[in-house]
Amino acid sequence: MPIPLPALRRRRRNKAPASPESSSQRYLAGDLCELLEGYLRPEEVKQVYDAYLFSAEAHEGQKRRSGEPYIYHPVEVARILGEMRLDAHTITAAILHDVVEDTGTHLEQIREHFGADVAELVDGVSKIDKITFTSREEAQAENFRKMLMAMANDIRVIIIKLADRTHNMRTIGHMPRSKQRAIGRETLEIYAPIANRLGIHQWSQELQDLSFAVLYPLRYRSLREAVRGRQGNRKAVVDKIQVAIVAALKSDDLSATVSGREKNVYSTYKKMKAKHLSFQEVHDVLGFRIVVPRRDMCYRALGVVHGLYKPIPGKFKDYIAIPKANGYQSLHTVVFGPFGQPLEIQIRTEEMHQVSDVGVAAHWRYKTGDGAAHRRRHAHELARKWLVDLLDTQRDSGDSREFLEHLRIDLFPDEVYVFTPKGEIKKLPRGATALDFAYSVHTDVGNRCVGALVNHKPVALKTRLRNGDHVQVQTSVHSAPHPGWLGYVVTGKARAMIRNVLKGQRRRESVRLGRRLLKKATASIDFKKATSAEKNVLLRRLKLKEWDDLLADIGMGNRMSLVVARQLAAVRVGEDHADPSDSAQPPLIIRGTEGMLVTLSRCCRPIPGDPILGFLTPGKGIVVHTNDCPNVAEYRKRPETWIDVNWEPGIKGIFPASIRIEARNQRGVLASLAAIIAEAEANIDNVSMTESDSQFSTMLFTMEVRNRRHLATILRQLRAQEPVVRINRVKG
C-alpha cells in the first residue's frame, strides 16, 4: 500500500530503513512532494499526492521489468516535469497517465476525482491498444495521428508524453535487445525531433544520446570517452577564453553570465558522419553561451565578441529578429578562436535562455510575469499552429507510410526564411522550392501555380530558395498538379496536397476505364445490364461501399473485369436462394475461363488433382496456387483477392513438379534415380545435387508429370530404393 505523506516526510528526515518496495515508493513520492512544495500551493501539492495514492492503489501488484513496483514509473515522470516547474494539473496527469491503459480504472473515475482538465490530459496520453491494425507502420501512424490531435487541443499532452519517453529511455536496459533497438529508433526519429521542434532542447539532446547509446553502444561509449578526454584537455583553453570574453564585456559596461559548453555526443557523431570527419577533425565541438539582462544588450555583446575575435563570414544567424517556429530566440555567431579553431557563440537574454531549455513548456510554468507570460504564450501559439497545419496536411492522407514520411519531413526543418510580396516572412525547410512556397501560401495557390518570380526574376518552379529571397507566385485557373512535381517538392504539405489531387485524377480515369472494361466483359458472356439490387449484393460480398470503388479497382487492374462479370451473373442466378451476406463465389473451371489470363504459380507448382485457389494479380490475371502454399497465407485473409477454381475433369497435359530426395552417398545413385523417373514416363527438366556431409546428399528434381496420381506413383517407386532416406514434394 502507498505510504502516507506525513510518514514519507518523517522517513526522509530520519532516513529510516524500509523494505525495498516501500523504500522505493518512499524515496520517489517524498522527493516529488519536496520538489513541488518549492513552487506549488499546499492544496495543489495535496492534489498531486492524492493522485499518487490513487495511482499506487490502481497499480498495486504490478511490476516493471526491472522488478520495481510499477508506481515507480509514473512518479518519476511527474518528477521530471516537476523539475521543469510545470503546473499541478500536468503533474497530476503524469502520475495517472497509465491507469486507464494498464488497470481497470475508467476515465470517468479520473474526471470525478481530479476534474475534466486532468481527465482530458490522461486521455490524450493514453495509448491506442484496442484497435486492430494491419501493419506495424499503420499502428505507429495512427498512434502519432492521435497524439498530434491531442497536442493541438492541449500542448501539455506531448510534454507528458516526452517525459514518459525520457524515463522509459533512462530505464530501457531491462527490455529485450530487439525492443530496445525498436524503441530507440522510434525515439531518435520521432520523439527527439518533436522535443526539438517544440524547443525543449534539454530533453531533445538527452533523448538523442540515450537512443544513440541503444542503437550503437560501442560507438557511443568510445565517442563519449573521447569527448570527456577532450574536456579535460581543453579545460585551461576554455577558462582562458571565458575570462577574455568576460573582461571584454565588462570593459563595455555589460553585465553578463558566460559559460562554456560542448556539443552532446549524438550531435558530434552526426557531424562526423555527415562530413566524413574523424573526431580529431571536429573543431567546433566547443562553444560559449552569453546571457545578458536585456534584448538590446544582445546586439551590444555581439559587437564586443566580434571585436575580440574575427567572425567567420556567413556564419551569423539572428534568431531574435526572426525567431524559429518553436519560439527559440538567440544570436548565433562563429568566430576564430585564439588558437585558430572556430568557436560557436550564442547570445541571449535570461528569458530566451529559459525558453531555449524548455520551449513551449515555459508557457505552463508556475507563476510567470506578465511580459514573460505574453511571450511564452506566443511560443505556445507558434507550436500549436505547426500542429494544426500538420494535421490539416495529413487529414486526407490515407496511407500510413505517407503520413510518417510527412511527419518526419516536418520534424527536421533546417529552415530558410523568404519574403512574400507584402513583406511577410515565410519559414520553409532548407532545399524548399518556389512550388513549396506556393503551397505554404495556400493549397489553391499551389495547385494553380504555373511559375514564380524570385527577386523579381522569372524562375522555374523547382528553383531552390535561399535566405532573404523575395518570392511571388504566378497562377492560372487552367493549371493542375503534375506527377513530376513530386520529384522536387520537399515540404510535407506540398507533397500531400499534390498526391491528393493526383489520386483524385487517377480515380476518375480508373472509374471510366473500369466501366468500359466491365461493359465489354458482360457483353462477352451475354449478360444484360445489372440491376441496382444485384450491384448492392455484389458490393456487400466484396465488402465495398460504392459501385465506383469496384469500377476503379477494375480500371487499375486490381480486379479482372471478366471475373466481376461472372460474379454478377452468379448473383442473378442465385438471387432467389443465395444469402446476400454470403461471400462465397462459384468455382471457375480453369479451362473454361475464356478471355482471362491464367498462370500456374512457380512457387508451389500446382498439378491436376491438387486443391487450388486463384488469386487476382494485376498484370498476371488469375495466378493459381495450391491451397497449402505458404506464400499465399497472407492473401487468404483478404477474400476479395481470391476466387475458388478447380481443374477441368479429364484435363490432359504435362505439368512441372519438384521433389527433394535425401539419399546415402553411393556410386551411381543419381543415375539410378533418374532412370526410375524416366521409366515412369516423366521428363526431367532440371536436377541439382548438394552434399550434406560425407554420408548423405540432397537432390532436387524438377520433372514433368500428368497429374497428382502420376506423381504419387513416381514417389512410391523412388521411396522403395535402398539409398533413399527421405523424399518429399517441394512447395513454396
In whole angstroms, give the CA distance from residue 430 to residue 674. 67
What is the arithmetic mean of pLDDT over 616-623? 69
On whether both 669 and 718 belong to a single domain, the answer is yes
Of residues 209, 170, 202, the one with CA closest to residue 188: 209
pLDDT at 486 over 90: no
In whole angstroms, give the CA distance from residue 719 to residue 717. 6
Percent of the chain at pLDDT exceeding 90: 19
- pLDDT band at residue 561 using 50, 70 and 90 as cut-offs: confident
Indicate the residue among 646, 666, 684 that finishes a domain: 646
Structure-derived torsion over alpha carbons of residues 457, 459, 465, 471, reported in degrees to the nearest 10:
50
Residue 162 domain flag: yes
- Between residues 501 and 633, the one the model is more confident about: 501
- pLDDT band at residue 569 using 50, 70 and 90 as cut-offs: confident
Specify the pairing of strand 331-336 against strand 642-646.
Answer: unpaired
Q: Are 400 and 137 in contact (CB under 8 A)?
A: yes
Annotation says 117 is catalytic: no
What is the arithmetic mean of pLDDT over 53-64? 89
On whether both 71 and 197 belong to a single domain, the answer is yes
In whole angstroms, give the CA distance from residue 186 to residue 423. 39
pLDDT at 83 over 80: yes
Percent of the chain at pLDDT exceeding 70: 76
- Taking each helix axis from N to C end, the angle separating 88-96 and 72-83, rounded to the nearest 10 degrees, works out to 160
pLDDT at 8 over 80: no
Helices (H) and strands (E) in the chain, counts: 27, 19
pLDDT of residue 628: 82
pLDDT of residue 382: 58
On whether both 213 and 226 belong to a single domain, the answer is no
pLDDT of residue 165: 92
452 phi and psi, to 5 degrees?
A: -150, 155
In whole angstroms, give the CA distance from residue 212 to residue 269. 9
Quick: pLDDT tens for 125-158: 775 333 344 445 555 565 566 556 656 667 788 8
pLDDT at 188 over 70: yes
pLDDT at 363 over 60: no
Of 54-58, 182-186, 336-340, 579-583, the least confident: 579-583
On whether both 176 and 246 belong to a single domain, the answer is no
Q: Mean of the per-residue pLDDT values for the chain?
A: 78
Query: In whole angstroms, what separates CA 566 from the centre of its chain?
Result: 42
Of 165-169, 262-266, 577-581, 658-662, the least confident: 577-581
On whether both 602 and 667 belong to a single domain, the answer is no
580: cell is 446476400
Name the domain count of the chain.
5
What is the arithmetic mean of pLDDT over 625-632? 83
pLDDT of residue 414: 61
Quick: pLDDT tens for 229-262: 776 666 777 788 888 999 999 998 898 988 877 6
- Please give the C-alpha separations between residue 494 and each of 37, 214, 248, 486, in angstroms, as whole numbers: 49, 35, 48, 8
The one-letter amino acid at 284? D
Q: What's the CATH number where 358 sits? A: 3.30.460.10
Of residues 350, 339, 425, the one with CA closest to residue 382: 425
On whether both 637 and 696 belong to a single domain, the answer is no
- pLDDT band at residue 579 using 50, 70 and 90 as cut-offs: very low
Specify the pairing of strand 449-454 against strand 471-475.
Answer: antiparallel
3-state SS of the chain: helix, strand, coil percent to 5? Answer: 55, 15, 30
Of the residues 21, 101, 189, 399, only one is catalytic, namely 101
- pLDDT band at residue 166 using 50, 70 and 90 as cut-offs: very high
Of residues 337, 408, 2, 27, the one with CA closest to residue 186: 408
In whole angstroms, give the CA distance from residue 696 to residue 700. 14
Q: Are 724 and 670 in contact (CB under 8 A)?
A: no
Residues forming beta bridges with residue 662, ordered by sequence position: 698, 726
Residue 418 domain flag: no
In this structure, the chain runs to a length of 732
Quick: pLDDT tens for 672-691: 898 899 888 888 888 888 87
Of 4-18, 270-284, 429-443, 604-618, the least confident: 4-18
On whether both 668 and 621 belong to a single domain, the answer is no
- Between residues 214 and 312, the one the model is more confident about: 214
Of 185-194, 470-479, 708-717, the least confident: 185-194
Residue 708 domain flag: yes
Residue 372 domain flag: no
- Please give the C-alpha separations between residue 52 and each of 33, 58, 411, in angstroms, as whole numbers: 10, 10, 34
Question: What DSSP string describes 139-176?
Answer: HHHHHHHHHHHHHHH-THHHHHHHHHHHHHHHTGGGS-
- pLDDT band at residue 627 using 50, 70 and 90 as cut-offs: confident
3-state SS, one letter per residue, for 453-496 = EECCEEECCCCECCCCCEEEEEECCCCCCCHHHHHCCCCHHHHH
On whether both 667 and 642 belong to a single domain, the answer is no
On whether both 63 and 188 belong to a single domain, the answer is yes
pLDDT of residue 369: 45
Quick: pLDDT tens for 190-219: 788 888 877 788 888 899 999 999 999 999
On whether both 167 and 313 belong to a single domain, the answer is no
In whole angstroms, give the CA distance from residue 210 to residue 171. 10
Residue 72 domain flag: yes
Residue 202 domain flag: yes
Of the residues 21, 50, 102, 381, only one is catalytic, namely 102
pLDDT at 309 over 70: yes
In whole angstroms, give the CA distance from residue 208 to residue 186. 11
On whether both 18 and 74 belong to a single domain, the answer is yes
Of 190-204, 368-382, 499-513, the least confident: 368-382
Cα atoms in the 13 Å half-sphere on the side-chain side of 391 = 17
| DSSP assignment letter at 579 | -
pLDDT at 172 over 70: yes
Residues forming beta bridges with residue 655, ordered by sequence position: 705
pLDDT of residue 38: 87
Indicate the residue among 217, 237, 267 that finishes a domain: 217
212: cell is 544513440
Contacts of 4 (CB under 8 A, 6+ apart): none
Q: For residue 223, give its domain range.
A: 219-365
666 phi and psi, to 5 degrees?
A: -135, 155
pLDDT of residue 620: 64
pLDDT of residue 248: 92
What is the arithmetic mean of pLDDT over 42-46? 91
On whether both 200 and 257 belong to a single domain, the answer is no
Burial class (CB in 10 A: 0-12, 13-18, 19+), 646: middle
Annotation says 102 is catalytic: yes
pLDDT of residue 47: 92
Indicate the residue among 164, 185, 217 that finishes a domain: 217
Q: How many Cβ atoms sit within 10 Å of the Cβ of residue 658?
A: 18
Of 294-308, 415-429, 534-548, the least confident: 415-429
Of residues 306, 283, 302, the one with CA closest to residue 292: 302
Query: In whole angstroms, what separates CA 59 from the centre of its chain?
Result: 30
- pLDDT band at residue 443 using 50, 70 and 90 as cut-offs: confident
| DSSP assignment letter at 656 | E
Of residues 575, 548, 551, the one with CA closest to residue 561: 551
Residue 423 domain flag: no
What is the arithmetic mean of pLDDT over 419-433? 82
In whole angstroms, give the CA distance from residue 203 to residue 163. 8
Residue 439 domain flag: no
pLDDT at 316 over 50: yes
